[in-house]
Chains A and B, each alone.
Chain A
Amino acid sequence: MAADETRTEVPGGYLYRRHSLAVRITHWINVAAMTILLMSGLAIFNAHPALYWGKSSYTGRPPVLSIGLAEGPDDSVIGVTTIAGRTIETTGVLGVSNDRKGEPSARAFPWWITIPDDLWLSMSRSWHFFFAWVFVLNGLIYLVHGLASRHFARDIAPTGGDLRGIGASIRDHLLLRHPRGEASKRYNVLQKFAYLAIVFVVLPLVVLTGLGMSPWMNAVWPGWVDLFGGRQSARTIHFVCAWLLVLFAFVHVFQLVVAGAWNHVRSMVTGRYRVDTGSAGGTS
């Protein structure tokens, strides 16, 4: 973060450069690429809305998750989702939802969360595989920059003090208390763990399981996809990772709204973050 201590004094505090240009650019490219990957990915999922565990889809065991249609009362058609053998009605969102003209249509995920919004598998694949390159190349730039600039080592790796303060940090989060003043210039320990998990676990996993679905990439080292439990397991993990990323994005946005949306969004756009010094820098 504090790569450059160019302070600008403002009433009640000062602005400093919180995020480097490389982090800001890769962050926003990543937001766009991941949004498109999620939505085109859900559209691809709609072509076969079921997930399996194992090397193939037809192993003699039922899918772990499936979204489809069922007969409702009075000959109506309802949308249903079956997870681990339990079926629940999900009409309106999953299975059956209104298309953009308001007509009920049979599709797993609704139009407003897919790219393109109609069932058009080849187009969804074109979007997905183009933006997969954008995402991966952008991610590599971010990783190289983060290592070379020591951004990861300096700002994201938890310190001994961080680890000892986990209990206090959990309590602060539950009470929606955020550090103010000088303390707000450092990431807190839960934030660090969240970023580490996303950057070094979930994102690499989503890339590897994505490659694991490619029959050609499977052949490069035959059997490697079995590390994930097989090709269909890789597909399931890919799906779960995608939703973990959505969960992360929601928590991320929630946290920055609580901690000051304007200040955080500005710091990720212009780099400049406001530190308040007027209120004595307390945390309550």
Chain B
Amino acid sequence: MKLGDRRKRRRFLARAFGALAAASLAGCQKLSTSSWFPKVLDSAEPLNEAMAKLVGRRAMAQEFTPADLSPSFRSNGTAMPDTDAYRALLAAGFDQWRLVVDGLVAKPLSYSLDELRALPSRTQITRHDCVEGWSAIGKWRGARLSAILAQAAPKPNARYVVVHCADPMEEDGTGLYYESIDLDDANHEQTILAYDLNDAPLPVANGAPARLRVERQLGYKHAKYVMRLELVESFAALRGGRGGYWEDQGYQWYAGI
């Protein structure tokens, strides 16, 4: 009698566990595709961002030595923007390329590549952390974004820098890549528009003629093929409204983790 009870209880526990596991698996899938649950999950994002600002608003990303450089710097995402406009810029050695700075600024500006190279610069050996999980270390040289912003003079209500790029994410040439960062990050000492990688002009596969380096955030924030910096108060009305191409696909705007 007693032994029978034990066996029954054990079978009950095993079945209960099995049923719970199966229901949980199906439940997680349902929750992921529901309209409300991802919002609950993403409620942690402001917490992550607040924590990050609290512990290291001005903290400097780790810098490395030449011995740490990756033998070749991996290209990810777009390796060659497939548009006539970009091909024309490339064919002319980016002579016609202009970096446009506009939006909520007192002085809208544009820079040629030579003018960009003449701005106060910074050289840094940093690690690029892709959201997928891999890292590569490269040596970057570029114009300090803080110097560009100082010249353009953001208006008091400007809160974000939107980075508009030349690479289309759709096969028909639409869906140009874009990203956004806040002014803390934009004015950070290590935030640059990089035009050199490993002491040579930035290769096309890595974002020629200039890409954003916003160290302390994941790779997708480091927009390549930069064409225009637009200062805005909010990005809610822009494209998908979440502040970047991958953000519009559900990725986190704050990409510090």
Q: B160-186 interface mask toward A, CB cutoff 8 Å, 1 = contact, 0 = none?
A: 000000000000000000000000000
- A54-62, A67-75, A244-252: which lies at the interface: A54-62
The reply to whether A217 and B256 contact each other, CB–CB distance below 8 Å, is: yes
Known: A222-B63, A261-B10. A116 touches B257 (CB 8 A): no
B100 contacts the other chain (CB 8 A): no
Residues 203-257 of A contacting B (Cβ, < 8 Å): 213-223, 225, 231-232, 235, 257
B45: chain A residues within 8 A (beta carbon)? 129
Contact call A215/B132, Cβ cutoff below 8 A: no
Q: Which residues of A contact B199 (CB under 8 A)?
A: none
Q: Are B48 and A129 in contact (CB under 8 A)?
A: yes
Check if A59 sits within 8 Å of B70, measured CB to CB.
Answer: yes
Closest chain-A Cβ to B74's Cβ sits at a distance in Å of 6
Are B9 and A117 neighbours in the complex by a CB distance under 8 Å? no
Known: A48-B134, A55-B137, A115-B28. A261 touches B13 (CB 8 A): yes
Fill in one digit per residue for B216-257: 1 if any A CB lies within 8 Å of its CB, else 0: 111000000000000000000000000000100111100011
Check A265 for interface membership: any CB of B closer than 8 A: yes
Q: Which of B25, B61, B62 contacts A117 (CB 8 A)?
A: B25
Residues of A participating in the B interface, judged by any CB pair closer than 8 Å: 35-36, 39, 44-45, 47-48, 50, 52, 55-60, 112, 115-117, 120-123, 125-127, 129-130, 132-133, 213-223, 225, 231-232, 235, 257, 261-262, 265
Closest chain A residue to B42 by CB distance?
A126
Q: Could you list some 22 contacts between A and B, CB below 8 A? A: A48-B133, A56-B134, A56-B136, A58-B73, A58-B134, A58-B135, A58-B136, A115-B28, A125-B131, A127-B28, A133-B44, A215-B217, A216-B217, A217-B55, A217-B256, A219-B56, A231-B129, A232-B135, A261-B10, A261-B13, A262-B6, A262-B9
| Bound-complex Cα distance A59 to B67 (A) | 9
Which of B127, B218, B249, B256 has the most chain A CB atoms inside 10 A of its CB? B127
Identify B68's interface contact among A56, A129, A222, A262, CB under 8 A.
A56
Chain B neighbourhood of A130, CB < 8 A: 40-44
Q: Which residue of A lies closest to B30 (CB)?
A: A116
Q: How far is the CA of A92 from the CA of B45 in the complex (A)?
A: 36
Asked if residues B127 and A231 are in contact (CB atoms below 8 Å), the reply is yes
* CB <8 Å contact, A122 and B249: yes
Partner of A215, one of B29, B216, B251: B216
Q: Is the CB of B70 within 8 A of A216?
A: no
Q: List B contacts of A225 (CB < 8 A).
A: 62
A110 to B41, CA, bound (A): 23
Query: In the complex, which residues 52-68 of chain B have their Cβ closer than 8 Å to any Cβ of chain A?
Result: 52, 55-56, 59-64, 68
| Complex-state Cα separation, A125 to B131, whole angstroms | 9
User: Bound state CA distance, A120 and B74, in angstroms?
Assistant: 22
Given contacts A126-B42, A129-B41, A218-B216, 4 further A-B contacts (CB under 8 A): A48-B130, A115-B32, A214-B257, A219-B62
In the bound complex, what is the Cα–Cα distance between A35 and B21 (angstroms)? 10
In the complex, are the beta carbons of A219 and B60 less than 8 A apart? yes
| A57 in contact with B134 given A122-B252, A215-B61, A220-B55 (CB within 8 Å) | yes
